[in-house]
Structure 1
Amino acid sequence: MRPLLAALVAVAVLLGTAGCSDDEPAAEERTSEHARSEKGKTDKKPRAETRPSESRPSEPRPSAPPLTTTFVPAASPRELAERLTTAEDLARDDSTADDVRQAAAFEAQLLYRQLGRTPEWERTARAAVPDRYRADLDAHLTARHSLRSVLTTLSDELPAWEIVEPAPTADLLRFYREGERVHGVRWELLAAINLVETGFGKIRGLSTAGAQGPMQFIPSTWAAYGEGDIDDPHDAILGAANYLAANGGDTGTISGAGVENALYRYNNHGGYVAGILSYASILERDPRVLGELVRWQILYLSTIGDLWLPIGYRETAPVPVRVYVRQHPERHLGTVTD
């Protein structure tokens, strides 16, 4: 089989690529290695919340054709670096056709995960990528290793989830920037949390127990810091900004003791804090990466490896992973040890 991008890149080269804005719905990942602990509570009084003045999300436009994959893992660190560079170039270029851009983002996501499982390749791959992507590669690997440390056990069942289209990237960015303006919490931190918690709102849990919404609030925390609809991306992002600010995250920076304390209160694990800071650093260097990350797919790390849950996946009860793979073998995209 050919790598995921090969056919799409050939089409793009032959036909030219039409520009497509980040306003369109995209695709993205769940860092589901990330085990959820109950969000920390605080004794501080909730801040008086300024009611959002910006518009609600616009109606999503029709999405690109359904994404499929013929992903083949890289055979060497140099091949991985070459494919990753091509994927990153395409995913960040506004002139790339949207279907190619989605495939490029998925290819990059899968290659970062493969490299994260192959630490003996990291040094060679890092040396082989261009300087412009080296810091981002380091941050992706730090995020993967850090978030993986949060999870102590892997599941042999897929959760009762529905995977849906996210809000348009332009709307999400506007909500993050509103959170920064109103509460002093950098937008990159809000975006990184939204990515790690629910893949920018793609994951909808079908259970009413536990954390809820695109920023994963437990009801008691939402009652103190949220306003509006816990499932609405605008309201949830503003609630998260309010919560982080109340816990010292309103420093106007993406690092420092106040930010780290606020993130730790959000999820009580050092690996979670490091993962969020790493993704935020990528967005700080190049805000265009937000569109790429929103295009990432939901990948669930199970006892048998990475399983792709595409847009449209919906199960109201847990599904054994081996049953899922028998039904959808093409969605088994990496073992735990490869």
Structure 2
Amino acid sequence: MRDQRAVVARSRPNEETVPATSLWTGRWRGRPVAAALVGLAVALSGCAGSSGAASSVAPRRTAPSETVPSEAAPEPSATPRPALPDPKAAIPKDPAKLARSLTGTVAELRRATDDWIRDGDPGKGLPPEPVVLLALQQQRLYRHLARNPEVASRTYAKLSKSLAAQAKDNVTAIRNLLSLVHPISGSAKFRVQPAKPADVLLGHFKYAERRFGVDWEILAAVMFVETKFGRVRSPSHTGAKGPMQFMPGTWAAYGMGGDIQDTRDALLAAANYLRASGAPRDYRRALYAYNHSWAYVDAVQLHARQIKRDIRNYYAYYNWQVYVVTTNGDRRLTGP
């Protein structure tokens, strides 16, 4: 694995110095490994909130005797959407307010994702602003709940059954990964870059699934945890490289002659390695071979389960940002 600290590098430099970084020490394929803490919790992107409300046409007032030509009749008013969340706004502390914020954020994110899939092109370009900001807010909320277990328990009780189940999976996964992180002092430079378009990655995941029989959702969850879908480009302190964080020796055995830095090659190698390690018959065994930590295994499986339940969760995770845990607190490296 490697260091988790990159998100969508939309307006940030490709290389940034962080005063302190969080490294989680796990063991990767029998070797110590530093994993980048991909901020698997709540999206904390950094752009001022902008209005996302749909513009509505206000009908012109008319006198009782006045008629309005049919061609001039106003369009029916659209239901206004809430303003987009401000990534710097304080997270509510009260469980009831947290539950309302999470419920509204998830509902709006699903709607914005549907619009993106239907009217946009997830296979090209950057995600639309509503998806980025709402996914970021979702990540921020889950991250807050992961760090506050008692508040999280009280918040779950105020959510719908389905959203409570989703929240528990995400918060548990984030908490597991945070448990592997050890904030340290010092300076470190991290290279980040934008991820490949969401549907380009989806095509690679599904091709690897067809070739090796490993569920594409598992591959997506591994890449999400490892490098936030390829946004983190720095090697780990042990020398693991590329979007799937392979050690050179493991790559020589399973890379099939490909390029360790190439997204498609790395995904095929990961599927090849997981298949050789027991997948799909025993995903827990295979994932433990990939990274010797049961907390890691559980986190990957929880995220994969959410993607399987609703593909919109894949698009949400795609827009979660990269964090570094420092001795001075969390720092986000990518996002708006």
TM-score, length of structure 1 as denominator length? 0.70
Aligned-partner Cα distance in 2 for 1:293–1:141: 13
Aligned to 2:128: 98
- What's the CA shift string for 1:135-188, capped at 9, x where partnerless? 11111122022222223x212245321121001110111111111111111111
**Alignment partner of 2:307 out of 283, 290, 303:** 283
Residue 37 (structure 1) shift: 2.7
Aligned to 2:234: 205
Aligned-partner Cα distance in 1 for 2:317–2:210: 23
Give identity over the alignment, percent.
35
- Aligned residue for 1:74, secondary structure, equals coil
Q: CA RMSD in A?
A: 2.6
Aligned to 2:202: 173
Residue 132 (structure 1) shift: 2.8
Name which one, 1 or 2, has greater alpha-carbon Rg: 2
Greater shift in the superposed pair: 32-41 or 281-290 = 32-41
Aligned-partner Cα distance in 1 for 2:173–2:228: 14
Residues 237, 309 of structure 1: CA spacing in aligned structure 2 closer, same or farther, 3 A cutoff? same
> Relative contact order (C-alpha < 8 Å, sep 6+): which is higher?
2
Aligned to 1:139: 169
Q: Does 1:261 align with 2:251?
A: no
Instruction: Indicate if the aligned counterparts of 1:71 and 1:107 stay in contact, CA closer than 8 A.
Output: no
Gaps of 5+ in 2: 1-6, 11-20, 32-44, 49-86, 117-126
Aligned-partner Cα distance in 1 for 2:115–2:275: 37
Question: Which residues in structure 2 correspond to 1:132-281 (within 5 Å)?
Answer: 132-151=162-181, 153-157=182-186, 159-205=188-234, 210-227=239-256, 228-251=258-281, 258-281=282-305
Moved over 6 A (4+): none
- Aligned residue for 1:300, secondary structure, equals strand
Aligned to 1:54: none
- What's the CA shift string for 1:289-325, capped at 9, x where partnerless? 111111111111222221111259xxxxxxxxxxxxx
What amino acid is aligned across from residue 286 of structure 1 in structure 2?
Answer: D
- What's the CA shift string for 1:259-279, capped at 9, x where partnerless? 111101101111111111111
**Alignment partner of 1:120 out of 150, 170, 177:** 150
How many aligned positions are there? 256
Aligned-partner Cα distance in 1 for 2:23–2:169: 17
Instruction: Indicate if the aligned counterparts of 1:26 and 1:102 stay in contact, CA closer than 8 A.
Output: no
What amino acid is aligned across from residue 191 of structure 1 in structure 2?
Answer: A
Aligned-partner Cα distance in 1 for 2:240–2:157: 41
Aligned to 1:35: 25
Q: Does 1:129 align with 2:149?
A: no
- Aligned residue for 2:115, secondary structure, equals coil
